[in-house]
Amino acid sequence: MLLSFIVLAVKSAWQYYAPTGDVLRLLDVFRRMVNDSIRIGLLNDASSLRKLSLLSYNQLARYDSPSYYKLCAISKAAGILAARNKSARRGFPTRTPYAVRQQLVSCYGFKIENGGLEIPISRGRRFSIPLTKHVLEIISQPGVKVRSFTLSRTRLCLCIARDPPVVECVSTVGVDRNLRNLTVGNDDQTRQYDLSKCVRIATTTVRIVASFTRDDDRIRTAIASRYGQRRTSRTGHLLHSATKAIVTLAVQRKTAIVLENIEGIRSLYRKGNGQGRKYRGRMNGWSFGEAQRQIEYKARWVGLPVIRLSRRETKGSSLSCPRCGERLQSDKRLERKLWCGKCRAVMDRDMVAAINLARRGRVRFARSRPPILLEAQGGAGEAMKGNPTPTVIPGVDAPKLTQPTKS
Ligand SMILES: [Zn+2]
């Protein structure tokens, strides 16, 4: 039943570079080729890569560009057309697609030599971009391969991949995402990563944007978006250090990471759900998805399994006692604390959630294994109502995982 997946971990490394006139010309040619292919695709109602290549490859002959880039331009156009079709299918209005940004993407024809990236620039001529120490360090790690490169007017971005050895996990650790922190833990220990600064940055940004009085919508939008970018980069940095620490620690302790599936989390905080405007704004301003994305790609890069629990599997995870499974009581006097009447103990709400997630993840972990393990884990099947369907997750149900054998 177990399938062996080859899960390639993909990441990017980027740097600035100084373009020459030739490079700028090439970027412009590339964009025109993309737009030509888009036009041809729209005229003939073709969006598949195969059909588009047959239709437009010959038409691109008039451009003075290495033929590698023609294929890549067609591929990019196919991507843009496919995205447009998808939006149209979902009923979103679409405009005539057009590549505005000058961006050259290619997976062919480049070489990494003498600390530089060498790319073909026109027929028979090549151009070398010196790579920075940081980028060279990343791409020279064992097993790392450069898959493609992207050039914009000022930036060079390398897409790198590797097939990491799978970390053999002995246990699981749950990650509970809250507004002001990320709580990570299992039965052995819990830890909180404070993110209240992110909330502060968000509120400040909202206040600044709200204070604009200028009566020009276009300028207001432009300035607001500038502040939005600043906010994203500031909170992004804070999140990055937290998620990096979480993954590093999980690798050290050999614990698979358990996350709750947050698909549709936005619909929890919508108008008419009986929540206040400010509360909704706060919850929707939080990038839950970003925390999850960062943890997942960082874990994949080091070969650490990630278990994503479904809605049903996480139901009530912050409401039942991790010790006895009893429903916990909240008390207004105790902020973010819960009370278990049976154990007669006060517990931290976020920690309870993280511990329960870790346990439920372990149940999933165990289900694909012989039944001895469930006993070995001592009550891992705690407070589970219903019987969630097992899902095969590539990387989690991969064959190399060993099971916890507690003594
Ligand atoms: Zn209890």
Residues 184 and 322 in one domain: yes
Question: How many Å lie between the centroid of ligand 1 and the Cα of residue 329?
Answer: 10
Domain assignment present for 56:
yes
Q: Residues lining ligand 1 (ion), CB within 5 A?
A: 321, 323-324, 326, 340, 342-343
Domain assignment present for 3:
no
CB 212 within 8 A of CB 220: yes
Q: Provide the terminal-to-terminal Cα distance of the chain, rounded to the nearest Å.
A: 29
Q: What is the pLDDT of residues 34-89, one digit of tens each?
A: 999 999 999 998 888 999 999 999 999 899 888 889 999 999 999 999 999 998 99
Short-list 201, 182, 305, 202, CA closest to 242:
182
Question: How many Å lie between the centroid of ligand 1 and the Cα of residue 176?
Answer: 20
Residues 232 and 127 in one domain: no
Residues 153 and 44 in one domain: yes
- This prediction has a pTM of 0.72
Residues 345 and 244 in one domain: yes
Residues 202 and 331 in one domain: yes
Phi/psi for 151 (5° steps) reads -115, 130
With 70 as the cut, is the pLDDT of residue 162 above it?
yes
Short-list 252, 28, 53, 262, CA closest to 152:
28
Question: How many Å lie between the centroid of ligand 1 and the Cα of residue 102?
Answer: 60
Mean pLDDT score across all residues of the chain: 82
Q: Which domain holds residue 96?
A: 10-162
Q: What is the pLDDT of residues 229-280, one digit of tens each?
A: 998 888 888 999 999 999 999 999 999 999 987 766 666 677 777 777 777 7
| Mean pLDDT, residues 111-126 | 88
Question: How many Å lie between the centroid of ligand 1 and the Cα of residue 218?
Answer: 57
Residues 218 and 143 in one domain: no
Question: How many Å lie between the centroid of ligand 1 and the Cα of residue 405?
Answer: 25
Locate 263 and state its tokens.
């698909």
CATH number at residue 182: 3.30.420
Question: How many Å lie between the centroid of ligand 1 and the Cα of residue 326?
Answer: 5
Residues 183 and 143 in one domain: no
Residues 241 and 183 in one domain: yes
With 90 as the cut, is the pLDDT of residue 151 above it?
yes
Number of domains forming the structure of the chain: 2
Residues 210 and 184 in one domain: yes
Residue 92 pLDDT: 86
- Strand pairing class (255-260; 9-16): unpaired
Of 128, 162, 196, the last residue of a domain is: 162
Position 388 confidence tier, pLDDT thresholds 50, 70, 90: very low
Domain assignment present for 278:
yes
Residues 265 and 371 in one domain: yes
Question: How many Å lie between the centroid of ligand 1 and the Cα of residue 322?
Answer: 7
Question: How many Å lie between the centroid of ligand 1 and the Cα of residue 339?
Answer: 8
Short-list 252, 1, 375, 302, CA closest to 404:
375
Residues 31 and 147 in one domain: yes
CA distance 159 to 301: 13
Domain assignment present for 381:
no
Question: How many Å lie between the centroid of ligand 1 and the Cα of residue 356?
Answer: 12
Domain assignment present for 235:
yes
Q: What is the pLDDT of residues 172-218, one digit of tens each?
A: 999 988 878 899 999 888 999 998 888 888 888 888 888 888 788 88
Question: How many Å lie between the centroid of ligand 1 and the Cα of residue 11?
Answer: 43
Of 110, 139, 162, the last residue of a domain is: 162
Domain assignment present for 398:
no
Domain assignment present for 403:
no
Domain assignment present for 286:
yes
Question: How many Å lie between the centroid of ligand 1 and the Cα of residue 65?
Answer: 70
DSSP string, 104-150: EEESSS-EEETTEEEEEEETTEEEEEEPPHHHHHHHTSTT-EEEEEE
Residues 141 and 182 in one domain: no
Of 106, 132, 162, the last residue of a domain is: 162
Question: How many Å lie between the centroid of ligand 1 and the Cα of residue 323?
Answer: 5
